[in-house]
Structure 1
Amino acid sequence: MTLRTDWTLDEVHAIYNQPVLELVTQAAAIHAQTQATGEVQVCTLLSVKTGGCPEDCAYCPQAARYHTGVQAHKLLPDAEVLASAQRAKDSGSTRFCMGAAWREIRDNRDFDRVLGMVEQVNGLGLEVCCTLGMLNEYQAERLKQAGLYAYNHNLDTSREKYDDIITTRTYDDRLNTLEHVRKAGISVCSGGIIGLGETDEDRIAMLHTLATLPAHPESVPVNALVPVAGTPLADQPRVSVWEMLRMIATARILMPHTMVRLSAGRQEMPVTEQALCFLAGANSIFSGEKLLTTPNPDFDADKQMFALLGLKPRKSFKDVPEGATVLGRTATVEA
């Protein structure tokens, strides 16, 4: 299947607005052509530095300016991070993501420590991902040299809606970070959040931006807002499964080889709704009790769901030939 990065906004609009069952059917067919449909990448996300963030993201309980009850803590000890990564691997995760509530990476001792964490987790045979805020080309190169496999930096919403949600950094700041990550040869993970009060047009515009980047992100998380008391979006209604299906199916059609991740909001979704999302083309989840600071299904619940639906975890470094050098280490295919 030919990958396109020249989608028009009208084309994305037409795909997204199909009758939902036709949309899901089309996405499922493309998913079957391009991916192993019974395989789901299991990822775990750990907050290695929580709270105290100077940003004003309206959805985020880690912003210092909001009173959400999140206790700020400094960077976790290396041993604690490595133990969490080992537990995640033992529970079936093949990608481990470390998040820090920073506006941007600074060239200081904390960044040096994160680089050391990347090296250690990489040594476990996991795909290592980080989400640390904005970065420059030099910092992206340092992360690559330490063994980073992927970097997450979400667009969150459309350019048009963005200023209603965040004022402390620009949309172009986000796009520039993605460019630095791509240029360094690190896998790009970038998606967004629905339920912020945006319109369907905003959702379509965000998907259009992702699908017309110079190369499709290797991973696109689709997050449903988890409203948190104390944030400006605390009273937003829950996103419906039909909205999630439209986002996931459209992403799958536009970006056939991308991992489409069913991310935040999964705690509120029964297995029947999650099954529909997998049918529509989702093939990645976060597993573990928390997504940074918000609740998430634990490993045991996901194992039961996988058994019920006949799903199996995707192996780490699946797209990398056995024995090839991957960001400073020799790739071994993990079960």
Structure 2
Amino acid sequence: MKRIGSRLRSLTKGPRPRLWNARSMIALGLSVALCAAALSAEGQIIDAARSGDVDALRSLLAEGADANTTQGDGMTALHWAAERGHSAVAELLLSAGADGEAQTRVGSYTPLHLASRSGYGPIVRTLLDAGADPDATTTNTGVTPLHLAAGAVGGADAVAALLERGATVDAREASSGQTPLMFASAYNRSEAVVVLLQHDADPAVQTKAVDVLRSMAIDREANQRFRDAIDDFRDAEAAGRDWEPSPTNVQAAIRAQREFLLSDYDPGPVDGVSLARVNSEYPGGPSITHPPYRESLVGRTGGMSA
């Protein structure tokens, strides 16, 4: 027992933890409360718009909440109302000064894009009445609201609303040149197809035709431009074999590659022979020619209509 008691006393010896004084605790509590209140106000207006709670939203706006509160991804309360189909919420936000042209950080989607993608005709009309651009184009895929409405379930009313307000009926998206009619046809949206044809959509328009071998030659040259840029940095720094490019070096090389791809580079006549790789199967073995087999079989893609 004496040994145990001695052991316990040794464990309880030493400096006691400092206790915060009352003033420090109060200051910390007020700081936390203020931060929580600010975060709560921002989150509440987004939540009210997302859930369609008009009364809660009206109260928040009356208390001074910002109608243009934005999330980290660029989504505003109006974006959420448009995507969820909450017409009354969208109208209230617009009347409170919400920006109808606000864009997401990725793709630059406006509320009109999201309402169109969800096929909500009434909100599409509300946004158009507020001045939304019917031909706004996303920066990632190059689609307009009409493309998205044409492919949406029940999107015929949204399609009609956009066309009535001047949307370009045969607008082409960026990747392959598809039109809204192609979107509607691909997703089997027959009602949207009818509306588009009634507004003179051209069923004979074709997607971009891609010469696969030519594209392969351009891609190879672009990759070489990237490697050349990295080599230039290595030479400028007189670095040895262990040299590694910095993030700034890599970014500059990527910019050079992108500028090349945006140019009108013509690789000239290309075929499977000119694009073949020559190497050996093993060290010291004979050189073997490897033409691009799959690409040669495909040849060309695209050129399809609705």
Superposed pair shares fold, TM > 0.5:
no
Scaled to the shorter chain, the TM-score interval is: under 0.3
TM-score by length of 1: 0.26
**TM-score, scaled relative to structure 2:** 0.28
Looking at secondary structure, tell me which structure has more helix per residue.
2
Larger RCO: Structure 1 or Structure 2 (Cα < 8 Å, ≥ 6 residues apart)?
1
The structure richer in strand per residue is 1
